[in-house]
Structures are given as C-alpha cells and as structure tokens.
Amino acid sequence: MRDIGCCTWIFGNEDLSAIAARATRAGLQGVEIHGDLSLDPVQAGRIFRDAGLRIFSITPGDADISHPDADLRAGALDYYRRMIDWADALGHDPRLGCHGLVQRIRPATTQDAEDGHLADSVAQICAWAGDRPVCFEILNRYESHQIRTVAEGLALLDRVGAANLFLLPDAYHMNIEEADPAAALRAGADRIGLYHLADNHRGAVGDGQIDFAAQLTALDDIAYGGPLIVEPAAPGPDPFRTDKGPGYRDRLEDILTRSVRAIRAMGH
C-alpha cells in the first residue's frame, strides 16, 4: 500500500499538534508541511514524529522567483535558501516543493524573459538543495502563467539540467490542463518526484469525475515510489482562502478520511 499524506496549509493556522491528530484519525502516514518559516522546525519535526507521522515534503510559501525586478526575485530566492535550512532542521528528510507566485497569471514583461528568470532561479534553488530532491509543482492557467503541463515541466527540467530536479503533477490541475492525465504521468516517467491529488471540484477522491484508477495505474507503470499527497479544499468560495467558515477543518478531515478509503479501495 502506498503512503498517503495531506498538505498542512489546508487547515490554515491550526496548531500542528491538532493537525497531526487529524491526519492520524484520517488514516494518513504523513504530511506535506507548509513552509512557514516562523514555525520552530525542531518542534514541528518532533510533533509529527511523536504522532508516528512523517513529513514527506514541504509546500513553499508564495515567492515570485521569476519576477523581472531583480531585487524582488532576490528576496524570493532568499526565502528558498532559508527554507532549505529550515528543512534540514525539521528532520524527516522531506522533498522540497517549488513553484512561482500563485495567482500571477500573466507576465509583467515578456513570457520568454520570465521563463528565463524562472529557469535561472530554479537552478539556483537546486544548487542550494544539494542532494535533496526539488519538485517543481505544475499549476493550472488560473494560478500561473508558467509551467502548466507535464510537457512544459519536462522542458524546464531539460533547460535547468539539475539532477535533483523533478516534477510535481497534481490531479486537480491536470484535470484542467492535460488532455490525458494518465498519459502525461507516463510521459513524466522517472522525472516525477511527487504527486498531489484531489477530485475535479477539489473535493474528496472519488466524489467527482477524475479517473483516479487510471492515474494510479500510470504511477505503478512508471514505478513511482513516492507518497500520494491529498490537497483538498473545503466547499465554498475563494479557492485561495482556506477558511470556509465554521467547521471547515472538520469538513476537511472528513474529505481526507473518505479520500484514504477511496484510494485503499482501489488497491493502493
């Protein structure tokens, strides 16, 4: 059976001990922790370890690593440099997530120039990370103007040329951008380092229209050995706001619990 985790950012600013308890009740084996560098990494690592959970990976905070302003870009890169040190202090040996500024959906200058800035920044992040895997997250067109498909992600990997750089496809985003998500996963093959999933409405696995059986079979075919990271949102408006009103964290816990059951029922 595959390890299954969830992103901690979905619970907003809830105490990490409470998040660990929710993850355990939902039947998860670990989490993808939000890269909130104000958290004490040693304490955070201990909380999840004491709960019997692993920290599989880190979701970065928003940092515009392709912005044309060199000072803004340098500040974004400094966040990643500090996040790498923070990851070392966490323990658990997590993979590092990486992406551009969420909600920037058009270039401020030209696409070519900003694609160049992105590649240069990702190369720098990979150099700082050393042997630690860096997984570039592929987002949809409503969240990013860069790297929206596995094919575009593979082109980025080729351009950067770092041995520790991999892709992070997400079933929810692929539902928008890929004509055949399972085929896209097979095309990514051993260059896929992490995988996120939620159904087409960002709800529980199996509650919507995505063919998860096909995607999980594709992951088997490419010998993907990483965890499945469930990243849902509670029902409600504003996809960029986690808090959907009273009780939203309980609803998220239920979504996670049902997602785990659905994945296990598919033999994974």
Q: 50-68: per-residue pLDDT in tens?
A: 999 999 999 999 999 999 9
DSSP secondary structure letter of residue 207: S
DSSP helix/strand/coil, 166: strand
Assigned token pair, 122? 């990702």
Q: What is the mean pLDDT of residues 72-89?
A: 97
| Residue 239 pLDDT | 86
**HSE of 41, CA atoms in CB hemisphere, 13 A:** 19
What residues contact residue 159 under an 8 Å CB cut-off, 6+ apart?
A: 119
Q: How far apart are CA 34 and CA 21, in angstroms?
A: 17
**Band (43; pLDDT cuts 50, 70, 90):** very high
Domain borders along the chain are 4-265
What is the share, in percent, of the chain residues with pLDDT greater than 70?
Answer: 100
Q: 219-262: per-residue pLDDT in tens?
A: 999 999 999 999 999 999 988 899 999 999 999 999 999 999 99
Match 């049902």 to its residue by tokens. Answer: 258
**Band (11; pLDDT cuts 50, 70, 90):** very high
| Residue 16 pLDDT | 98
Measured in degrees and rounded to the nearest 5, phi and psi for residue 31 equal: -140, 165
Q: How far apart are CA 235 and CA 238, in angstroms?
A: 10
Q: How far apart are CA 78 and CA 257, in angstroms?
A: 37
Average pLDDT over the chain, rounded to an integer? 97
Beta bridge partners of 192: 167
The closest of 27, 11, 43 to 228, measured between CA atoms, is: 27
Q: How far apart are CA 140 and CA 177, in angstroms?
A: 6
**Band (103; pLDDT cuts 50, 70, 90):** very high
Please check whether residue 232 is in contact with residue 262, taking contact to mean a CB–CB distance below 8 angstroms. Answer: no
For residue 90, pLDDT beyond 90: yes
Select the CATH number that applies to the domain covering 4-265 from these four: 2.30.30.40, 3.30.720.210, 3.30.565.10, 3.20.20.150.
3.20.20.150
The closest of 101, 99, 102, 87 to 39, measured between CA atoms, is: 87
Q: What is the mean pLDDT of residues 119-130?
A: 98
Q: 131-181: per-residue pLDDT in tens?
A: 999 999 999 999 999 999 999 999 999 999 999 999 999 999 999 999 999
Distances (CA, A) of 238 to 16, 66, 75, 173, 264: 24, 25, 27, 16, 30
Q: What is the mean pLDDT of residues 116-140?
A: 98
Q: How far apart are CA 174 and CA 150, in angstroms?
A: 9
Beta bridge partners of 197: 230
Residues marked active site are found at 137, 231
What is the share, in percent, of the chain residues with pLDDT greater than 90?
Answer: 97
Assigned token pair, 199? 């159904």
Please check whether residue 100 is in contact with residue 118, taking contact to mean a CB–CB distance below 8 angstroms. Answer: yes
| Residue 235 pLDDT | 92
